Structure 1
Amino acid sequence: MKKIGFLSFGHWTPAPGSGTRSAADALLQSIDLAVAAEELGADGAYVRVHHFARQLASPFPLLAAMAAKTRRIELGTAVIDMRYENPLSMAEDAGAADLISGGRLQLGLSRGSPEQVIDGWRHFGHAPAEGETDADMGRRHALAFLEVLGGQGIARPNPRPMFPNPPGLLRLEPHSEGLRERIWWGSGSNATAAWAARQGMNLQSSTLKDDESGEPFHIQQAAQIRAYRAAWREAGHARAPRISVSRSIFPLLDDRDRAYFGSGGKERDQVGFLDEKTRAIFGRGYAAEPEELAAQLRADEAIAEADTLLLTIPNQLGVAYCAHVIEGVLKHVAPALGWR
């Protein structure tokens, strides 16, 4: 395990007991937690993107603000639903945020998952082309985004421009060199993992995937990672890819931890249907005393296959508690997984 970061969904609700009661709370606390995680020695601060929900939605202003407050930690998404995105305007936003960060962005994309509203991407002005599904549209948007990140010129210059132009076709600006190699794909199946490898994207695999064999989640996820690596080798890419998995991990260190997570109930995988056709398996959570927790995680085959572990954090419990969880994993559990 080379890198460990946190992943926040940025939930907020004006309910009793919530430490994150507004959108402003969710955004500002995300910045504060990135700062705290960097001080603790964590490697990454990642956010989930959801639309039409009381969660984080527009990642680039947030990532830029996190970048301005930190110096070392990776900043990323897991994931951006590409059905909602204009690839060219997204490339401009991503280039600006990456330059502000000094090249620390790690952007996870996906073709999308079930959302809060029906066909929410239509409200953003997007619609599948004839013969496309919405998932096809998301992948098409992703490929267009990758193409413009390459920095090639795409637009004919005006013969009488307001400002002088460099020769040839003009590219989008600002362009951030190297960002193209720091794009990830959030994959829910073996086939889409192989597709991501062929496109030269890193792999993000979460706690949910298609149930393709009936085996335990971590075994299926490990097989997915191996399929991805095989496709990467076959594609002949020059660089080595990166692979992340997400887990809910809670060392039980004090009475607060035991009160929140010590009662159990999430130690088994769960199986359900995302829609009428898609049977999915949801990975288990982990909560135990540090020594037992380390043993459980060493037995997780997908964690062993990945180079990056993202800790899903209960952001509504507040920055101080989430930092406590991150510190507990880094100090009491991570060394047993080979971190640092």
Structure 2
Amino acid sequence: MGDRPLKKLGFLTIGLFDEDDPARGHESTLRTLERGEELGYDSAWVRHRHLQYGIASPVAVLAAATQRTRRIALGTAVTPLGWENPLRLAEDLATVDILSGGRLNPGVSTGAPTHYERVREALYPDTADTEDFGYTRVRRLLDHLAGEPVTGFRGTEGIESFSDRVQPRSPGLRERMWYGGGSLRSARWAGENAMNLLTSSVVKAEEQEGPWDFAALQRAQIRAFRAAHPAGEAARVSQGLVVIPTDSADAAQRARYAEYAAARLPRTVRPQGPARLLFAPDLVGPSDWIAERLRAHAAFREVDEVAFALPFTFGEEDYEQILTDIAGRLGPALGWKPGG
């Protein structure tokens, strides 16, 4: 694809809160989503966190956000399906999409729940050894959203009417389903199943030995996805690197941002753990400098959509500064125009 102007600008937030005052954190997240719309962003995404002090139910939070925004697309990046019943999730997603007027962009992933050995008896007390956490679970969700029958009965019993497929139906939602992938296998599967692809700042270093090149690995995954997708080069891919422009930051913010990136830099040098996960360096600096680095990034050159990830541990005032600089300086430097 290469060197196309940035078409869609988005951001991702984790939505942290204090255990003793969770309402304040959730309200802060909703204000951040509202502010994103005011700044002209095309999309806002919420990350899923279970048994942590981050948003456990993005679908519920986004339901609230549908009533406080009017234009911006709202997404999950990503919902781990190992925690979900696909039929029930399909009902929730369709309901929120209806409430949003067709703005929901659900992102999902596969795999066993994090720390499954700790939660399996609480989550699946009767079926922990037989649950399928692979691609079949995603296919079930996609089929439910596409309106495939889930029972053999449709009709009336007594005074109640019953459907044989998930209700409500929200046409177009199936086409707005995203898969969060970081490997060649997952990228190809997402393409073969006509999903959109969410990439992030993490990939699997599966076909490369050092020196490791994050951008080249991610580019290979994007190309594998499009080669497998019915839409080919038109298949949608969104990149989710961590970028922190400092144009309007004060001295204290700049120091904090630099310290944050420096602490995370060692994990970008070589693959981490048995899964061989390789992380991208955070980009911290003036917007013009970040734009130059992105234009030279082999994977960024393949996309025209982004959902830049906000650092997890910063405050609302930091998010205001970062989002304002991205929308006002970095986005335009990359060719983005609000409403483009």
Question: Are 1:85 and 1:141, in contact at CA under 8 Å, matched by a contact in 2?
Answer: no
CA distance in 2, matches of 1:241, 1:152: 24
What amino acid is the match of 1:10?
A: G
Q: Which moved more, 1:175-184 or 1:119-128?
A: 119-128
Please list the CA deviations of residues 58-102 of structure 1 after superposition, one character each: whole Å capped at 9, or x if unmatched: 121101101110001010011000011101110110011000100
The answer for the alignment partner of 2:3 in structure 1 is: none
Q: CA deviation at 1:37?
A: 0.7
Matched, 1:150 2:149: no
- Please tell me whether residue 181 in structure 1 is matched to residue 180 in structure 2: no
Kept after mapping to 1: 8 A contact 2:10/2:42: yes
1:40-79 equivalent positions in 2, closer than 5 A: 40-79=39-78
Q: Residue 158 of structure 1: CA displacement?
A: 5.6
Deviation at 1:273, TM superposition (A): 3.2
Counterpart residue number, 2:254: 258
Q: Which amino acid counterpart does residue 142 of structure 2 have in structure 1?
A: L
Partner of 1:229: 226
Q: Deviations over 1:292-337 (max 9, x none)?
A: 2221121112122122211211354333320210110122222222
Unmatched segments (≥5 aa) in structure 1 = 15-20
2:290 corresponds to which residue?
A: 293
Contact 1:52 1:116 in 2 (8 A): no
Q: Is the 8 A contact 1:53 1:116 kept in 2?
A: no
Does the residue aligned with 2:79 lie in a helix, a strand or coil?
Answer: strand
Q: Which sits farther off after the overlay, 116-125 or 44-53?
A: 116-125
Letter in 2 for 1:197: G
Deviation at 1:209, TM superposition (A): 1.3
Q: Counterpart amino acid of 1:306?
A: V
Helix, strand or coil for the counterpart of 1:317? coil
Which of residues 8, 31, 38 is equivalent to 1:3?
Answer: 8
* Counterpart amino acid of residue 299 in structure 1: A
- The Cα shift of 1:290 comes to 2.4
Residues 185/73 of structure 1: CA separation in 2 closer, same or farther (3 Å cut):
same
Q: Describe the SS at the equivalent of 2:239.
A: strand
Q: How far apart, in 2, do the equivalents of 1:270 and 1:113 lie?
A: 27
| Secondary structure in 2 matching 1:219 | helix
Distance 1:164 1:118 in 2: 42
Structure 2 portions without partners, runs of 5+? 1-5
State which of 310, 334, 337 in structure 1 corresponds to 2:334: 337
Residue 210 and residue 316 in structure 1: after superposition, are their counterparts in 2 closer, same or farther (change >3 A)? closer
Residue 287 of structure 1: how far off its partner (Å): 0.6
Offset of residue 270 of structure 1: 3.6
Residue 219 in structure 1 maps to residue 224 in structure 2: no
Deviation string 1:262-282 (CA, Å, 9 cap, x unpaired) is: 3552567243434xx321101
Query: Which amino acid is 1:141 matched to?
Result: R
CA deviation profile, 1:225-281 (whole Å, cap 9, x unmatched): 01111111xxx359942111111111122324312223552567243434xx32110
Query: Which letter does structure 1 place at the counterpart of 2:25?
Result: A
Shift of 1:139: 2.2
Deviations 1:171-229 (A, max 9, x none): 11111111000000111201110011111110011111111213311111011101111
Give the Cα–Cα distance (whole angstroms) in 2 for the partners of residues 122 and 141 of structure 1. 20
Q: Which moved more, 1:111-120 or 1:285-294?
A: 111-120
Structure 2 counterpart SS, 1:32: helix
Q: Distance in 2 between matches of 1:217 and 1:202?
A: 21
RMSD value, Cα:
2.4
Q: 1:282 aligns with which of 279, 284, 287?
A: 279
TM-score under structure 2 normalisation? Answer: 0.87
> 1:115, 1:241 → 2: CA distance?
30
- Please give the per-residue CA displacement for 1:10-64, whole angstroms capped at 9, x wherever unaligned: 23346xxxxxx74322221111111001001111110111211111111211011
TM-score by length of 1: 0.87
CA distance in 2, matches of 1:60, 1:241: 25
Specify which of 234, 238, 241 is matched with residue 244 of structure 1.
238
Greater shift in the superposed pair: 221-230 or 297-306: 297-306
> What residue is the counterpart of 2:92 in the other structure?
93
Aligned partners of 1:73 and 1:104 also within 8 Å: yes
Post-superposition shift, 1:152? 3.1
**Residues 32 and 272 (structure 1 numbering): CA distance in 2 closer, same or farther, change over 3 Å?**
same
The alpha-carbon deviation at position 285 of structure 1 amounts to: 0.3
Matched residue type, 1:250: I
In structure 1, the residue matched to 2:306 is 309
Aligned 8 A contact 1:315 1:322 in 2: no
- Number of aligned residue pairs: give it: 322
Tell whether 2:196 aligns with 1:191.
Answer: no
State how far apart, in whole Å, the 2-side matches of 1:101 and 1:37 are.
16
Rounded Cα–Cα distance in structure 1 between residues aligned with 2:40 and 2:83: 34
